[in-house]
Structure 1
Amino acid sequence: MKLQVTRELLFNYFAGQTTPLQNELIEDWAKIPANRELFFVYLDEWEGKYPQYIANLEMALERHRAGMERRLETNTGDKRAAMLPEAATGSKAGGFIRRKRWMAAAIALVVLGAGLILSRNRLLYQKYSTAFGEIRTVTLSDGSLVTLNAHSSLLVPRFGFDRLSREVILTGEAEFSVRHVPDDRAFTVKTSNGFDVVVLGTEFVVNARREAPRVVLTKGKVRLLYGGQENRRTLTLKPGELVTFDEQGNASIGQTAHPWDYSAWKKHRFIFDQTPLADLAPLFRDHFGVELRIADPVVARMTITGTFTARTDDMLLGFLKEAAHLRVHREGNTVTLSRSTAL
């Protein structure tokens, strides 16, 4: 008996709970123009019940409006100096109305464009994300496992991912355990840092954050593509090798005796080896959304060694306070470290 595409089946598909056979059935069904509208109706209903993310459009619109007004004031101020007296007095009200209408039209276009981009990504990709301090493991339709570190996200194509290509987009940090498929289709992790990781079946960690982007290979073999589009370079890694990228996108390769240390965050463990306290600022910002400040250069140069298990920033700060004899002062999401006055 042939499977039927129902609302319940589509909801399971959106949640990533369907079998490869069901995925193929749904993707073929969705290619028929008469079915697309119903597909998106159910998708919108499912996304409304189980939102993958919430975009703050009002805040973005307010920032854009303020910028438009500042530019408008600057431009009109320059123009008024060059206006004839008759034009300045006779068309002031009309000019004001025209400027307001122009600004309203520009804002409407920006909002429409942003809405189209968000809608396009929402329809083409399923987004998995984590909050600060959260770790999440996702099983993809091809059987690969992805463990997302805190404050990270993964975009996975909704259509044809398992059958056509295996390409995902990572923001933040994640560990990948990629399943090899019979037809040897490659699995590609794309990042906004300008490098891609191409594999067949292996385990590796990708850090695509703003600071210290890197790739660590635990098992198998991967190929890195990096550099500009006109000067794309290739680098092949072996287990235990670590590649870091500088601000210009240049790669440096090295060895690590303990590659699994780079995925210790999966168990909320933090490993330090003579690590300066000043180097912990990106960790607190990326993992917990906390700004770490150290005004005292002596404290900034102090180092910490050890392994700490901490699910919250308060737990990790408590360890640092005791281990390095520090004073911790918090104001909102800003934490300041200084030397303790206690004996």
Structure 2
Amino acid sequence: MEDSHQGLSYIRQLFVKHAEGRTSPAEEAQLIAYLSEGDASALPDIDAMMHTAAPASLEAAASERILGHILSTATTAPRSRTLPLLRWMAAAVTIGIIICIAWFWRQPATQPVWTKISTDYGQLRKLTLADGSVITLNARSELRYDSVAIYGNKREVWLNGEAFFEIAPATKNAGTFVVHAGDSLQVSVLGTQFNVRYTNNKAAVTLNSGKVKVAAITRDNNAEIILTPGQMVLYDPQTMQLQQQTADTTLTSSWKVGQQTFQQASLSEVTGWITTQFGIEFRFSNPALKQLPFSGTIPSDKLESILPILEQSLDIRIDKSGRQMMIRPAH
């Protein structure tokens, strides 16, 4: 009995800690497991939790959707053990105790609660999910996911741009992680590190560690490729073909630490990357300049540092006018 009381006290402490925004992914997983059992005996008092220091909050629209679903479930559920929990969750959502939504993977969803995260030119952003998975977004990228379903067995995100994924292994309550790149390609993983780029309707997936399955709609039929570390797959929706090849993962994912590495890339390829990253347009005084070869590592988030490196390495001059740049021979 004493152990039971200690366990309930610990759960109450975790609820308060979560409302203050201080729980770890492991502690949030404990709360999720507790809520899924439908036991209300350890729930702290809502009035007391309203005075926590830094409650985690949902947007008003998301709170209203979740609250409505909780209340509708509470009025129809016949189990006396579950009703106190549902009513507590309904009150908790109104003050931003967002761990409650993790309970909903067991309930029929009414509509998704979408979360969108985006980056601007030259900006990197890192996101840590409740299961401990870490996603790093490159510049001019957007990630969308259902903030209710992501807590449960259906871990799915939709990407436009480029991101590096460090995915926590699948568990009983956290299933396969799926990344959608456009309408025709998806990457399924159980626990691994990989890079996905989806720009200009073309996709590239590079695997750093673990194993992923890449599925796409192809011209002949739907195709699947299993990647092992050091491999990448390219997909072009226009040709509807998957192309598998070896890859240097230090080149494809160096951007997430603020660097971009090129090996024998043409100046046209380099300036194309700069345009995507910073929104700068380039013109060439002589078309032959486009073919100048460049090898080296440049900052991926500081345009003012990139231009001098190119000028010195390629003996060129870059003249800037607003968001347009003219490339000329240095002499």
1:165 is displaced (CA, Å) by 0.7
Task: Please give the alpha-carbon distance, in whole angstroms, between the structure 1 residues aligned to 2:219 and 2:249.
Answer: 30
Pick from 185, 189, 197 the counterpart of residue 199 of structure 1: 189
Q: Which residue of 271, 288, 296 corresponds with 1:306? A: 296
TM-score calculated relative to the size of structure 1:
0.66
Q: Which residue of 2 aligns with 1:315?
A: 305
Q: Does 1:284 align with 2:274?
A: yes
CA contact (8 A) 1:273 1:304 kept: yes
Q: Please state how far the C-alpha of 1:326 moved relative to its aligned partner.
A: 1.1
Q: Which runs of 5+ in 2 are unaligned?
A: 1-7, 39-65, 73-86, 99-109
CA distance in 2, matches of 1:138, 1:289: 24
- Give yes or no for contact 2:255–2:300 (8 Å, CA) kept in 1: no
Q: Distance in 2 between matches of 1:319 and 1:268?
A: 15
User: Structure 1 residues 42, 208: closer, same or farther in 2, change over 3 A?
Assistant: farther
Contact 1:243 1:254 in 2 (8 A): yes
CA offset digits 1:141-189 (Å, max 9, x no partner): 1111111111112112211323231111111101111111333721100
Is 1:271 equivalent to 2:271 in the alignment? no
Aligned to 1:32, what secondary structure does the other structure show?
A: helix
Q: What is the 5 A alignment of 1:1-343?
A: 19-22=28-31, 30=67, 31-33=69-71, 124-183=113-172, 185-192=175-182, 194-210=184-200, 212-227=202-217, 231-246=221-236, 247-256=238-247, 258-341=248-331
Residue identity (%) = 24
Q: Is the 8 A contact 2:120 2:141 kept in 1?
A: yes
Measured against aligned partners, the alpha-carbon deviations of 1:264-288 in whole angstroms (never above 9, x if no partner) come to: 1112212111111111233112211
Instruction: Kindly name which structure, 1 or 2, has the bigger radius of gyration based on alpha carbons.
Output: 1
8 Å CA contact 1:292–1:335 kept in 2: the answer is: yes
Pick closer, same or farther for the CA change 1:210–1:9 going to 2, 3 Å.
same
State the alpha-carbon separation in 2 of the partners of residues 21 and 330 from structure 1.
55
Tell me how far apart the structure 2 counterparts of residues 317 and 170 of structure 1 sit (CA, whole Å): 29
Of stretches 217-226 and 305-314 in structure 1, the one that deviates more from structure 2 is 305-314
Deviations 1:33-86 (A, max 9, x none): 36899888768xx9xxxxxxxxxxxxxxxxxxxxxxxxxxxxxxxxxxxxxxxx
Aligned to 1:60: none
C-alpha spacing 1:158/1:216, structure 2 compared with 1 (3 Å): same
Q: Is the CA contact (8 Å cut-off) linking 1:224 and 1:234 kept in structure 2?
A: yes
Higher helix share: 1
Cα deviation digits, residues 115-149 of structure 1 (max 9, x gap): xxxxx99x712222222111222111111111111
Question: For residues 212 and 180 of structure 1, do their structure 2 counterparts lie closer, same or farther at Cα, with a shift above 3 Å needed?
Answer: same
Contact 2:281-2:324 within 8 A present in 1 as well: yes
Give the aligned residue type for 2:29: P
The number of residues matched between the two structures is 262
Distance in 1 (CA, whole Å) between partners of 2:175 and 2:128 is 18
- Mapped to 1, the partners of 2:234 and 2:308 lie a distance apart of 30
The AA in structure 1 aligned to 2:230 is: G
